[in-house]
Structure 1
Amino acid sequence: MKVHTTNYFDTFIQVAEDTKTDCGIKPTSKDEKKTIAEMQYDLIARHPYRYTSDDVLFQVFAARNDLSEAEYTQARDQFFSKGQACFRASPLTKTYGFGVHCNSEGKIAIFGVETAEYEKFAVDPDLKKVKAMKSSRK
């Protein structure tokens, strides 16, 4: 079975060109159920450079589908047997004003577009830069 990945290495995912914010905004819940953006934010903001993109995307999937830890290995294999949208398509990079830095191990951290760290990564010649996907097709 082919295994897909969303991990980037030595890469900075910049905010989408059509983002409507000029600073990183913490996502909030619409009701008592957390949004995908809020779940991603909580995992990455609390533990910068602890998880890879694959780890975060799967953890959010597992939480939203009430999977037990005993189901993780099989469910993760199944989840990544199909291609998944990477953090270029995340609401954090498209809507909420966060860039995602992926280090040499593929571990990620987020930085608001207004921060000095964001600017440092945006001009770092040793990092590959990719833009988040636009929200609209225009």
Structure 2
Amino acid sequence: MNLNYYDTLIAVADDCPVGGAMEPEPRGGKKTVAVLQFEMLDADPGVLTQEDVLFESWLRRQEPAERSEEELAELRARFFTKPQACLRTSPLPKKYGWGLLFDGEGRVRLCPMGSEEYKRIVAGEVPEVRVLKALRSSRAK
């Protein structure tokens, strides 16, 4: 089963509470999912796939931190046997103003909502990129 997106922008949710992209902060001294995903995508833009981000953000919150390659492969296989929420539910496009831009090979990078690139894609000026909205945090009224 392949969970990756291709040539797609996950645009900021309609009810996103910020007017521009902002870096998420740890809460209570711990890294949140938003912080972990931001750090991964900021450090390696255009390298990771959606599956990589989902698995790594889950893994980094588990104990123990050190695992063998075999353990990681087994954990990853087991992780994807259960249904996983896609990055449309990520706090980055829902709460922090970051679009998630996937290339033709399924690799993702951050695309801030105020950037020219983001505006052009959302306006439909880049027809080869499909636009999907992040899921709303609250129900539509």
TM-score (norm 1): 0.92
- What SS does the aligned partner of 1:69 have? coil
Aligned runs of 1:47-66 on 2, under 5 Å? 47-66=44-63
Counterparts of 1:94 and 1:5, CA distance in 2: 23
Is 1:42 the equivalent of 2:31? Answer: no
The aligned counterpart of 2:15 is 18
Structure 1 segments, 4+ long, off by >6 Å, are none
Unmatched segments (≥5 aa) in structure 1: none
The residue identity in structure 2 corresponding to 1:132 is A
Is 1:137 the equivalent of 2:139? Answer: yes
Is 1:85 the equivalent of 2:85? Answer: yes
1:119 Cα shift?
1.3
Counterparts of 1:114 and 1:127, CA distance in 2: 18
The aligned counterpart of 1:33 is 30
1:5 Cα shift?
3.6
State how many pairs are aligned. Answer: 135
1:58 Cα shift?
0.6
- What SS does the aligned partner of 1:130 have? strand
Counterparts of 2:27 and 2:40, CA distance in 1: 18
1:85 Cα shift?
0.7
Question: What is the Cα-based RMSD across aligned positions, in Å?
Answer: 1.2
1:33 Cα shift?
1.4
Of all paired residues, the percent bearing the same amino acid is 35
TM-score (norm 2): 0.91
Unmatched segments (≥5 aa) in structure 2: none
